[in-house]
Chains A and B, each alone.
Chain A
Amino acid sequence: MAVAGPRARRRRVATRAGAGGPSYPAWLAAPALAYYALFFLVPLGLMAAVALAERVGHADFVYTLNVENFTDLWDPLYRGIFWETVQLAFVGSLATLLVGFPLAYYLARHARRKTLLLLLVIVPFWTSFLIRTYAWLIILDPDFPAVRALRSVGVLPEDFSVLYTPTAIYIGVVYTYLPLMILPVYAALERMDWSLVEAAQDLGDSPLRAFRRVTLPLALPGVVAGTLLVFIPMMGEYLNPVILGGDKTIFVGNLIGLQFGSSRDWPFGSAIAMVLIAAMTIVVLVYSRLVSREEQYGG
């Protein structure tokens, strides 16, 4: 129901609109499509071509059909970086879900000033990503007042320092993408009929069992959307490792960036970017396939 609702509504609108004939001509789409073609599709096509180019000298390349840029990636060093990135995206998504789900649940079921609280979730997401990220440099600093206080009373060890470690990067990514998890989960839970949960409990389910059998299946579309929405940008994460990781831990996004900075190896950088897109597409397809099957049999 929760899934079919909006889709059915959209279809109804489409048929009604279709009956009246178009009110605005289709050519109005032309400027935007030309724009996307020139400044989005052509650059991506160019990137695909450069990925097959051969590097010449220090910073130049010639277009050929050279797969070496891709085979080079099989090096254990690069495989390790890909593996770390997948790990960051998986663990990061899971952590974001664990932090975000209870809040979305609270907002949907118990909160009184929902609109305000929801706005409060959205606002940070729209403020500068860079500023919010570098703010953690201050908070995670061993000399930050709150941290210093905790250290002096012995709650935190004296040599406590997470800045420029993977932990800092994880805090950063969870922080950055949390609203993207909360919103879709909230949207799914908000449509829920809570009397179903009460009915399940009246009929003898424990609260936990009612949650597992009623709430969770109905929230699943939101959870799926949320995990995808945070997983995708985490796979291409660039800024958090640079700032909070002190550039010490490298992920795929940083590896790409390096090829366009100090290394000046555009073909290799393009090849990594292509592999990243391919990997992301596969993950998204497999994931949505898995989930839709589960929905069919599990619901």
Chain B
Amino acid sequence: MGKRLLQAHAALVYLFLYAPIVVVVVFAFNGGRQVLNWEGFSTRWFGEALRDPTITEPFRNSLLIAAGNAVLACVLGTALALAVSRMRRAARAPIDAVVYMTLVTPEIVFGIAALMFFVQFSNQLVGAGVIDEPLRGMWKIVVAHAVFNASVVALVVRARFVGMGQTLEEASYDLGAGPVKTFVQVTLPRLAPAVLAGGLLAFTFSFDDFITSFFVADAGTSTLPLRIFSSLRFGVSPLINAAAAMILALTIVAVVVAYLVLRRSGTRARAAARVPVPGL
């Protein structure tokens, strides 16, 4: 009946979803100085972006932060998922509650809470004479990002771990292997796609994060999203579009890879779809 109408609507929604991404990429190739004043196709802004230290430095910071956060999130999240998946319901419920809290707390609230925590913590240490100057550096952003992302990894890994059954682990124990050996030889190889996918998600979320970084970062530390945000005060520029286009390319590749890894490993598409949907 209304199939045509639905089809047209779907086309419009996809246009809506992708128009901003396409626009950023297209206008990154504008040779002119003004974004909307098209002066011919050019890749010069990509070169300029890659040579501009106010972009490359935050870019490097973002990569380091995202990588550190991903490693931390993978270790914490995977260990949590393994421990929790066989706990009794009563023991698991409060842990689940905290995990969901980390996922649904508005970022602005967590951002300011983390800001106050780091400032107070640092002041305490200075007051106690442990350190001379307030704590600075990127690690604060890493630590703050990993709270949310450890939960993301835990959800992804747990879905896979519960889904794959544990007869092989039981066999491994029956044959005399301890938890460590069982983990390395039996669980990890089968779990690797989920850990990898979770890690890629953690990397992406951290790499793209603005609000938490905005509140937690020191004045001297910038990430790429912070750099982009601060430049928006002077309006959009082709330089920023070029930087943004490169980030978009990077994250889209990471997401598609994560998706394919998960799918190849036999997890249904829906499990991947469920990742950003903690309530389900």
Chain A interface residues (CB < 8 Å from chain B): 10, 13-14, 17-18, 20, 22-29, 31-33, 35-36, 39-44, 46-47, 50, 99-100, 102-103, 105-107, 110-111, 115, 117-132, 134-139, 141, 143-145, 175, 178-180, 183-184, 186-187, 190, 207, 225, 228-229, 232-233, 235-236, 238-239, 243, 253, 256-257, 260, 266, 269-270, 273, 276-277, 280
Q: Residue A32 contacts which of B6, B16, B89, B150 (CB distance < 8 angstroms)?
A: B150
How would residues 251 to 276 of chain B score, 1 for a CB under 8 Å from any chain A CB and 0 otherwise? 11001100100000000011011101
Contact B251 A23 (CB under 8 A): no
| CB-CB nearest in chain B for A29 | B83
Contact A260 B115 (CB under 8 A): yes
Contact A32 B77 (CB under 8 A): yes
B131 at the interface (CB under 8 A from A): no
Question: Given known contacts A32-B80, A106-B10, A178-B17, what 14 new A-B pairs fall within 8 Å (CB)?
Answer: A35-B150, A42-B117, A102-B9, A120-B18, A128-B244, A131-B24, A131-B248, A137-B235, A175-B17, A183-B273, A186-B273, A225-B277, A236-B109, A256-B112
Can you report 5 A-B residue pairs in the complex whose CB atoms are below 8 A from each other? Answer: A24-B179, A36-B147, A130-B208, A187-B270, A257-B112
Contact B255 A127 (CB under 8 A): yes
Contact B7 A32 (CB under 8 A): no
How would residues 161 to 204 of chain B score, 1 for a CB under 8 Å from any chain A CB and 0 otherwise? 01000100110010000010011000100000000000001001
Of A25, A130, A143, A277, chain B has the most CB atoms within 10 Å of the CB of A130
User: Within 8 Å CB of B38, what residues of A?
Assistant: 145
Contact B108 A39 (CB under 8 A): no
A36-B98, A135-B21 are known contacts. Are A26 and B87 too (CB-CB below 8 A)?
Answer: yes
Complex alpha-carbon distance, A41 and B114, angstroms? 10
A39-B143, A122-B273 are known contacts. Are A46 and B113 too (CB-CB below 8 A)?
Answer: yes
- Min CB distance B55 to A, Å, is 14
Complex alpha-carbon distance, A64 and B97, angstroms? 30
Q: Residue A273 contacts which of B113, B144, B274 (CB distance < 8 angstroms)?
A: B113
Contact A119 B76 (CB under 8 A): no
User: Within 8 Å CB of A229, what residues of B?
Assistant: 277, 279
Contact B183 A266 (CB under 8 A): no
User: Within 8 Å CB of B21, what residues of A?
Assistant: 124, 127, 131-132, 135
Complex alpha-carbon distance, A13 and B256, angstroms? 30
B29 at the interface (CB under 8 A from A): no
Chain B, interface size category, equals 35 or more
- Judged by DSSP, the binding face of B is helix
Contact B179 A25 (CB under 8 A): yes
Contact A24 B116 (CB under 8 A): no
A47-B112, A138-B236 are known contacts. Are A280 and B106 too (CB-CB below 8 A)?
Answer: yes
A24-B82, A119-B259, A253-B106 are known contacts. Are A106 and B6 too (CB-CB below 8 A)?
Answer: yes
B91 at the interface (CB under 8 A from A): yes
- Min CB distance B132 to A, Å, is 21
- Min CB distance B192 to A, Å, is 16
Of B150, B169, B252, B273, chain A has the most CB atoms within 10 Å of the CB of B273
User: Within 8 Å CB of A270, what residues of B?
Assistant: 112, 116
Complex alpha-carbon distance, A183 and B255, angstroms? 16
Contact A28 B80 (CB under 8 A): yes
Contact A24 B17 (CB under 8 A): no
Contact B251 A128 (CB under 8 A): yes
Complex alpha-carbon distance, A233 and B279, angstroms? 13
User: Within 8 Å CB of B126, what residues of A?
Assistant: none
Contact A137 B108 (CB under 8 A): no
